[in-house]
Structure 1
Amino acid sequence: MKKELTIEEFFKNPGPLSEIIDNFHEREDQLKMAKIVNEAIEEKDSLIIEAGTGVGKTFSYLVPALMNGGKVVISTATKNLQDQLFLKDIPTIRNALKIPVEINILKGRSNYICQLRMENALLEGQFLNKEDAKYIHEIKKIADHSEVGEISEFNTIPETSTIWPFVTSTKDNCLGQDCEFFKSCFVVKARKKAIASEIVIVNHHLFFADFVLKDADLSEILPKADTVIFDEAHQIPQIAPIFLGENISTNQILYLVQDANQILLKHLKDKEKLIELSRLINDSTNSINVYFDKRNYRVGIEKIEKLDFFKDKINNLIDHLDKFCRFFDKYSEQDTEFKNLKERTEEIINKLKKWINYEDQSYVHWADIFFKSVQFNVTPISIADSFREFQEKNKASWIFTSATLAANASFDHFQSLMGLENAKTELLKSPFNYSKNAYLYVPEDMPDVSSRLFNNHLVGKIYPIILAAQGRTFILSTSIKSMNEIKSLLKDKFEKNNINYPILTQGESSKIKLLEQFKYHGNAILIGSLSFWEGVDVRGKELSLVIIDKLPFQSPGDPIFESKINLLSAQGINAFMTFQLPKAIISLKQGAGRLIRDEEDKGVLMICDSRIISKPYGRSFWQSLPSFKRTRNQEDVIDFLNHL
């Protein structure tokens, strides 16, 4: 598109934006960021830019991206931001610029109905419960008249229904052009629509899963991009390594057997052999699922108890899968479905073999232990070289933005993790008046965070502050265990003192419902762990107090984190100062960012970890936060809250 307007003219009041946005006002930093992004796009540069809450970063990257034209890929971490971009922000900019750009959201395969799997499920007719048998007919009815086939259309069927794995698309069981439903395939339609669009919105998971792992569908889109924008870019270093490595779950193995039986029992004469092999694979897989006593945790391969015995179980499963694979040999040349099953089985075997053989020190081999399944992961300790090479192959403008990318005003941490040492950087602070509207309060006389009675002291300290805030409190904990203990202690304290503020806790309901309840009550306390440290937006008087129990240093027990520390230490690098500390600072900035979401917001950020004052590195934490008014005096805080 020819630039009929300058960036400055677009953000002026009066101007194109003020004509369509009520109460639009000029923001100095918003214009500054837009100019910086515009320059990066024109020069085909890589840019890392932190924009504090209130800068207006979304418009600051959208305006120059649309004004420069070409194909734009925008990757986000959350569905909320995807929907905001697709439904609100991009249409607003498009209308202001008066240009007819096509916008599309591209989602992962599992968001779409697979017509072949749906028909096979109907023919097979074997479901886990009566509800699924009813749901499959509802899905068929809606899918037959749908243009897009997204599961979001099927709002009469619960998201938690066990029917979805039987009817949604996966890369494992996709037959591609050999499928009888290829011409009407919902995934193919979505990808074609995305290819034809000027602006494509994806999430970080899809970006790295489908492009870096060279999924042909998405690679048709991204190499043609003129501009790639990562919003919520601070999450990329956690997400990308998972997709740059390899993983296989026990559920995938069970689904393979399920699919094989569904397809093959209709065709084969030697069904008994298939049934016996299926039973052996299922038994071996389930023995792995029940091997671990604890649930919902990560473990490095070298820390698995009785590792040799566990590896024997894996090898036993591999033997059964190998027989399964050979079973398909005589049929694979006759039929695409047979060939697909053989290839899936071979891929699973190779991934399991790779997982139990861990000679390459640049990768970490670990397992995610879930309630009813185990996922085996082989993950690169560093993605810097891979991502740098990836950028060099795809000549485009690369924009990385978030409200939390810098630690103590430095981008070194993010740059080293991503291989972006040569990228341009810019830090734009929040324009909000923190020194007038917000306190940073660190209570005195708190015990060491390792003390057994730490949470007892914490509840004693936060209780009078919560009363002064009249509820309206987030408590952000660094662990599920602490979260539950704080909830129990606070509940007892309230009951003894006849305080009726509702206490809402992560896990009791969905995140969205908990936030709805929090706003509805108007005096609630919401206690959450790490998932509530970001992506939560409560504006106005409903939230006046954010309490953080401890500085959010990651647990050294995490296998990826531990391997990164060991690698840095082996290179003679101070892992604490270059990795652990910056990572914790960025996490703290995310948690602190829940408090002030609007220029009219007021409140208190209470950090109950005295290390922010007593340790030499503590200064790096509070200097990385906005310019709060700081105090250790409880009365200052109570008086401030009483006058809100």
Structure 2
Amino acid sequence: MSVLANASRDALSDGGALASRVPGFVARPAQQRLTAAVAEAIEQRQVLLAEAGTGTGKTYAYLVPALLSGLKTIISTGTRALQDQLYHRDLPRVREALGVGVRSALLKGRANYLCLYRMNQAKGEAQFASPAQASQFQRVVAWAGRTRAGDMAELEGLPDDWPLLPQVTSTVDNCLGSECPFWDECFVAQARQRAQTADLVVVNHHLLLADLALKQEGFGEILPGAQAFVIDEAHQLPELAASFFGEGFGMRQAQELGRDCLAECKQVTGATAVLQEPVRALEHALRQLRAAMEALPLRGTRYRALTLPAVADGFDVLADALSALEHALESLAEASPGFDACMVRTHELGQRLGRWRDGDTASAAFADGTGDDDALADAVASGGQGDGAAVLAAAAAHGGEVYWYELTPRGFRCQRTPLDVSAPLRQHRERSQAAWVFTSATLAVGGGFHHIGHKLGLFDPDTLLEPSPFDWRRQALCYLPPELPEPGVRGYGAAMLAAVRPVLEASGGRAFLLFASHRALREAAAALEGGPWPLFVQGQAPKAELLRRFRESGNGVLLGSASFREGVDVAGDALSVVVIDKLPFAAPDDPVFEARLEAVRRRGGNPFRDEQLPQAVIALKQGVGRLIRSESDRGVLVLCDPRLTGKHYGRVFMQSLPTFAVTRRIEDVQVFFACS
């Protein structure tokens, strides 16, 4: 064992640095094995793939060797919330306990920092839809005068979807860079400078991937100097990477462009007269296109969208409107840096629209059914009858990417997505010549890492599987309700809730009910309304606020969908039941997923075994992980889907979960809670 591995294990042992200085710290053998493996990978500049079950203490396990190594280290987490928790809570504790003077920095994407230029542009605008919005904007203005980091997360209670957020933050598209009059005070530039001089930088996957994909988030200067990367919540990386290595545009992006063009007019006399009409034409084109897309499914392929003449014509009109706006901006580009930036954005948006609409690779011809490959004939015919997903799936075998759209209540987004990101991820990793540690509580399927390893482009990496150290046999019980119909059968939702009610009665509420679809969630909310337990339903309030209310209720029942499967930590008596309605197989109407399955089939693989099943297993493990969060927690896991016992693949799910007692008797559940 290396010197670094020994030092890391010692720091996390009984009587070690953390046990002596961190209140409540408990030495765990699994954590010590994990930290030794991480240390070996860092010291040898190797790749490690490590699953650390809930309760292992993986954050401390990788922070200790990272801090002791003396190497420039980048730690990437799954979300901004986890990023803040790691940087503001965990890192200071470990650094102080070890007594090391490592310089650290927190770095987020541009859109997380206040942009002084855009905030000043927004002043005086008649854009506030309500007095509450105007009050929130004034709160941002007041905070701007005292913040040092400019991190919007400092403003508690400001929702992530606050409609004015784009007006006070910047993006790669609208940032003026060094030409900005506020450049010397720029919070993004200052954060970047701190990160460049730091020994340890905490980022999130969005930022890491944006810069690996050369999306210019301002972090690329640091990547070449990093000697070690730790990727926490690594199970999220492949799906996120697909969006970053692709390309997209949307209605909101175009609307913000028009708004910014008019905002710049305040600075230049006569500019409004030049731009008002082309901006109005752009807004009209967007509204007309969105109205035409109303006839489409919420999500589908480009082929499906463009077979509707009104939609195809709508994209043509939008392209013309962007071209006219770009032409109008040419005469103003030299009048201000803002107008120059708007012209560049307009040109790029038009280019993206053109690439999505017309395609810029040979695979696009196949995707639209115009290629002459005999292998695509059946797919083209099938696409003509359906939504064209088979056409694009076949094209994936040629070009490896799929073109698709998605509708939102007031907009749309068009995307080009690669189906396999393992090659670019592998190239970036090998080019770095750094150590790479990929870790999560949910990576393995049936005890193996083949699925996630393939997704990440890893060939024969070092692996470590540390199950949760919690005593699941004593602390948990798995209840499989008997005699439930198949999930696809009419009335399944009502039967499932009927089976769950006795569990809620035995536990006195204190439950998460996790649903595979929003429709099932809504139906359950309606059925449980007015019951004896306080009901908390996803969408009624921001996620953090909903969880706070649930914790404080003491006996609540929270209903959530996929986003509540992970990143939710409710320890103690407030949560004693987790109910999962169905095995979380991906939605069949997802054009990217469908094309990915077809690509697996064309490679000679088995789409269900190689893609659908592993993805569902990992998603189920995430949901199950909400139940037991500490050594003192006790709870019942209710898995309602009868396919767990009725289908041969059910064994793969059960083998991938913690080892616990399983029952089909509600009486055992009642006894479990009676003994609490």
Aligned twin of 2:668? 636
Aligned twin of 1:387? 425
Which stretch of structure 1 is more off in the superposition, 599-608 or 297-306? 297-306
**Compared CA separation, residues 306 and 249, structure 1 to 2 (3 A):** same
Alignment of 1:137-156 (within 5 A): 137-155=138-156
Q: Which residue of 590, 611, 623 corresponds with 1:579?
A: 611
Aligned twin of 1:189? 190
The alpha-carbon deviation at position 271 of structure 1 amounts to 4.3
Alignment of 1:86-97 (within 5 A): 86-97=87-98
Deviations 1:99-141 (A, max 9, x none): 1112222112122222222222236666555555555555344
8 Å Cα contact 1:37-1:64 kept in structure 2:
yes
**Compared CA separation, residues 46 and 265, structure 1 to 2 (3 A):** same
**Compared CA separation, residues 305 and 269, structure 1 to 2 (3 A):** closer
**Compared CA separation, residues 297 and 102, structure 1 to 2 (3 A):** farther
Aligned twin of 1:365? 403
**Compared CA separation, residues 427 and 608, structure 1 to 2 (3 A):** same
SS of aligned partner of 2:446: coil
Which stretch of structure 1 is more off in the superposition, 39-48 or 481-490? 481-490
8 Å Cα contact 1:296-1:371 kept in structure 2:
no
Give the whole-Å Cα distance in 2 for the aligned partners of 1:433 and 1:270.
69
Residue 547 of structure 1 aligns with an amino acid whose one-letter code is: V
Deviations 1:353-372 (A, max 9, x none): 11112434311111221121
Residue 421 of structure 2 aligns with an amino acid whose one-letter code is: I
Aligned twin of 2:241? 240
The alpha-carbon deviation at position 16 of structure 1 amounts to 0.9
Q: Which residue of 613, 624, 631 corresponds with 1:599?
A: 631
Verify: 1:484 aligned to 2:522, yes or no.
yes
Matched length: 637
Verify: 1:451 aligned to 2:489, yes or no.
yes
Aligned twin of 2:322? 321
SS of aligned partner of 2:123: helix
Deviations 1:327-360 (A, max 9, x none): 2334435643332222111100111011112434
Give the whole-Å Cα distance in 2 for the aligned partners of 1:217 and 1:51.
32
Give the whole-Å Cα distance in 2 for the aligned partners of 1:533 and 1:542.
17
Verify: 1:419 aligned to 2:457, yes or no.
yes
Q: Which residue of 511, 514, 518 corresponds with 2:546?
A: 514
The alpha-carbon deviation at position 422 of structure 1 amounts to 3.2
Aligned twin of 1:497? none
8 Å Cα contact 1:211-1:218 kept in structure 2:
no
8 Å Cα contact 2:212-2:428 kept in structure 1:
no
The alpha-carbon deviation at position 289 of structure 1 amounts to 2.7
Residue 409 of structure 2 aligns with an amino acid whose one-letter code is: F
Aligned twin of 1:397? 435
The alpha-carbon deviation at position 465 of structure 1 amounts to 1.4
SS of aligned partner of 2:114: coil
8 Å Cα contact 2:6-2:36 kept in structure 1:
no
Alignment of 1:99-118 (within 5 A): 99-118=100-119
Alignment RMSD, CA only? 2.2
The alpha-carbon deviation at position 52 of structure 1 amounts to 0.6
8 Å Cα contact 2:572-2:632 kept in structure 1:
yes
Aligned twin of 1:19? 20
Alignment of 1:176-325 (within 5 A): 176-215=177-216, 217-264=218-265, 266-267=267-268, 269=270, 271-293=272-294, 297-304=298-305, 306-325=307-326
The alpha-carbon deviation at position 590 of structure 1 amounts to 0.7
Which stretch of structure 1 is more off in the superposition, 208-217 or 472-481? 208-217
SS of aligned partner of 1:219: coil
8 Å Cα contact 2:109-2:217 kept in structure 1:
no
SS of aligned partner of 1:542: coil
**Compared CA separation, residues 447 and 131, structure 1 to 2 (3 A):** closer
The alpha-carbon deviation at position 223 of structure 1 amounts to 1.7
8 Å Cα contact 2:13-2:32 kept in structure 1:
no
Which stretch of structure 1 is more off in the superposition, 360-369 or 310-319? 360-369
Give the whole-Å Cα distance in 2 for the aligned partners of 1:486 and 1:125.
41
Q: Which residue of 579, 585, 592 corresponds with 1:547?
A: 579
Give the whole-Å Cα distance in 2 for the aligned partners of 1:162 and 1:296.
26
8 Å Cα contact 1:440-1:607 kept in structure 2:
yes
Give the whole-Å Cα distance in 2 for the aligned partners of 1:454 and 1:234.
31
Residue 236 of structure 2 aligns with an amino acid whose one-letter code is: Q
8 Å Cα contact 1:328-1:338 kept in structure 2:
yes
Q: Which residue of 590, 593, 597 corresponds with 1:558?
A: 590
Aligned twin of 2:385? none
The alpha-carbon deviation at position 391 of structure 1 amounts to 1.0
Deviations 1:577-606 (A, max 9, x none): 011000000011111111111122111111
Which stretch of structure 1 is more off in the superposition, 261-270 or 219-228? 261-270
**Compared CA separation, residues 540 and 4, structure 1 to 2 (3 A):** closer
**Compared CA separation, residues 121 and 71, structure 1 to 2 (3 A):** same
SS of aligned partner of 2:578: strand
Gaps in structure 1 of 5+ consecutive residues: 495-499
Give the whole-Å Cα distance in 2 for the aligned partners of 1:420 and 1:72.
20
8 Å Cα contact 2:292-2:314 kept in structure 1:
no
Give the whole-Å Cα distance in 2 for the aligned partners of 1:433 and 1:507.
34
Aligned twin of 1:68? 69
If the length of structure 2 is used for normalisation, what is the TM-score? Answer: 0.90
**Compared CA separation, residues 513 and 214, structure 1 to 2 (3 A):** closer
If the length of structure 1 is used for normalisation, what is the TM-score? Answer: 0.94
The alpha-carbon deviation at position 171 of structure 1 amounts to 1.4
Which stretch of structure 1 is more off in the superposition, 633-642 or 293-302? 293-302
**Compared CA separation, residues 52 and 262, structure 1 to 2 (3 A):** same
SS of aligned partner of 2:219: helix
SS of aligned partner of 1:516: helix
Give the whole-Å Cα distance in 2 for the aligned partners of 1:334 and 1:512.
45
Residue 194 of structure 1 aligns with an amino acid whose one-letter code is: A
The alpha-carbon deviation at position 157 of structure 1 amounts to 6.4
Deviations 1:248-306 (A, max 9, x none): 11111111111112224642547434221111111001222333438994322223374
Taking only the aligned residue pairs, the percentage that are identical comes to 37
Give the whole-Å Cα distance in 2 for the aligned partners of 1:24 and 1:138.
39
8 Å Cα contact 1:86-1:201 kept in structure 2:
yes
Residue 8 of structure 1 aligns with an amino acid whose one-letter code is: R
8 Å Cα contact 1:13-1:24 kept in structure 2:
no
Which stretch of structure 1 is more off in the superposition, 586-595 or 303-312? 303-312
The alpha-carbon deviation at position 158 of structure 1 amounts to 6.3
SS of aligned partner of 2:292: coil
SS of aligned partner of 1:208: helix
Which stretch of structure 1 is more off in the superposition, 401-410 or 298-307? 298-307
Aligned twin of 2:654? 622
8 Å Cα contact 2:515-2:581 kept in structure 1:
yes
Give the whole-Å Cα distance in 1 for the aligned partners of 2:156 and 2:642.
48
The alpha-carbon deviation at position 60 of structure 1 amounts to 0.9
8 Å Cα contact 1:125-1:133 kept in structure 2:
no
SS of aligned partner of 1:75: strand
Deviations 1:476-518 (A, max 9, x none): 11111111112222337x4xxxxx2212211111222222222
Q: Which residue of 590, 594, 609 corresponds with 2:622?
A: 590
8 Å Cα contact 1:295-1:370 kept in structure 2:
no
Gaps in structure 2 of 5+ consecutive residues: 365-394
Give the whole-Å Cα distance in 2 for the aligned partners of 1:213 and 1:317.
27
